[in-house]
Amino acid sequence: MKLMVTGGAGFIGSNFIYYELKHHPEDTILCLDKLTYAGNLSTLEPAMKNSNFQFIRGDIADREFVNALFQKEKPDLVINFAAESHVDRSIEDPGIFLQTNILGTGVLMDACRTYGIKRYHQVSTDEVYGDLPLDRPDLFFTEETKLHTSSPYSASKASADLLVLAYYRTFHLPVSITRCSNNYGPYHFPEKLIPLMISRALADEPLPVYGKGENVRDWLYVEDHCAAIDLVIRKGREGEIYNIGGHNERTNLEVVKTILKELKKPESLITYVTDRPGHDMRYAIDPEKIHKELGWLPQTKFEDGIRLTIKWYLEHRQWWENILSGEYKNYFNTMYGKRLHQ
């Protein structure tokens, strides 16, 4: 089978490409990525040596380009990871989130309708459900939880999900959707909580914790997410949504303190900064459906996953130091300049 993986030069997409090359050597993979600030071709260097892998640079929202690519390549499965993915950036400038996350999804699905497809899979997020209160640990997001978005990012992802379901009902496009909780692991862009804190702690720089650090996220090691998507695209039912998460809830402060302890750095590096506007309190996934239907269960406990992740960042300094020394430097100064000095 030929898989088209969009957004494969980013964090989860690249991990998924390596998962597929390892577990399905009979398949071929075509990665389509625009290489935005979040896409990194060096991440895919080992894959480039594999004759079953091909990289194409392009924009999923460019209809003419996408149609020509589908006509030439005729993929069997399309797995759409391509997105603007950072909540804080969506608060600064929502426009590109609508363009890529909503329009891009529509363009890809139109090409699927025109050229035929076995499955279009949308990689979505638990953020489409909004948040849960801290004082109700008994509550979890199920696939039936109503959509209730907080940020332009989550609203754009929820819009895309609705479009995917509409294409299933109206055009009978064979689709599936997964909604996953927070991932962590190798190749995570250092603007996100865990890699940001690891890189800054290693440099003995202040660690900017939003608000009081009480917000809770349900952390999943990225390889477990890849295994779940692999199951859904091959064995999951068409037209279905599957939630993915690992019952690994931690407050942000717990996560940051764990990183500091592992790196033997002092807690005095923690700096409380202005909160994110509209900041979601707690995410927590009920993964019962994917467990019952497809037998998926997370394999990596947070304590093990965070150690593996820290080890990876220590062993791949060049990868993230290149990012930190480039255009990202301006982003950090602009975004955190006002936060750190309040």
Catalytic entry in 127, 131, 218, 280 = 127
Phi, psi of 106 (to 5 degrees): -65, -45
Give the binding site for ligand DAU (CB under 6 A).
85-87, 125-127, 181-182, 192-193, 196, 208-210, 215, 217, 252, 276, 283
Of these partners, ligand NAD, ligand DAU, none, which one is at the site of residue 100 (CB under 5 to 8 Å by kind)?
Answer: ligand NAD
For residue 74, which phi and psi values (nearest 5 degrees)?
40, 65
Maximal C-alpha separation, the chain:
57
Residue 10, interface with ligand NAD (CB under 6 A)?
yes
CB closer to ligand NAD out of 84 and 131: 84
Q: Which long-range contacts (CB under 8 A, 24 or more apart) does 128-132 make?
A: 128/154, 128/157, 128/158, 128/161, 128/179, 129/179, 129/283, 130/154, 130/280, 131/280, 131/281, 131/282, 131/283, 132/281, 132/282, 132/283, 132/284
- Catalytic-residue membership of 153: yes
CB of 163 to ligand DAU, least distance (A): 17
Q: How many residues in the chain?
A: 342
306 binds, among ligand NAD, ligand DAU, none (CB under 5 to 8 A by kind): none
User: From the CB of 162, what's the least distance to ligand NAD, in Å?
Assistant: 15
Nearer to ligand DAU, 86 or 257 (CB): 86
- What is residue 83's three-state secondary structure? coil
In whole angstroms, give the CA distance from residue 66 to residue 111.
7
Distance of alpha carbon 70 from alpha carbon 3, whole angstroms: 12
User: Does position 11 bind ligand NAD by CB under 6 A?
Assistant: yes
What, of ligand DAU, ligand NAD, none, does residue 7 touch, CB below 5 to 8 Å by kind?
Answer: ligand NAD
In whole angstroms, give the CA distance from residue 338 to residue 342. Answer: 7
Answer for which of 31, 66, 79, 82 binds ligand NAD (CB under 6 A) is: 82
Least gap, CB of 251 to ligand NAD (angstroms)? 17
Which residue sits closest to ligand NAD, CB atoms considered?
A: 10
Three-class SS state of 246: coil
* Residue 195 near residue 150 (C-beta atoms within 8 A): no
> Binding of ligand NAD at residue 12 (CB under 6 A)?
yes
Catalytic residues: 126-127, 153
Binding site for ligand NAD (CB under 6 A): 6-7, 9-13, 33-36, 38-39, 59-61, 81-85, 100, 104, 123, 125, 157, 180, 182-183, 189
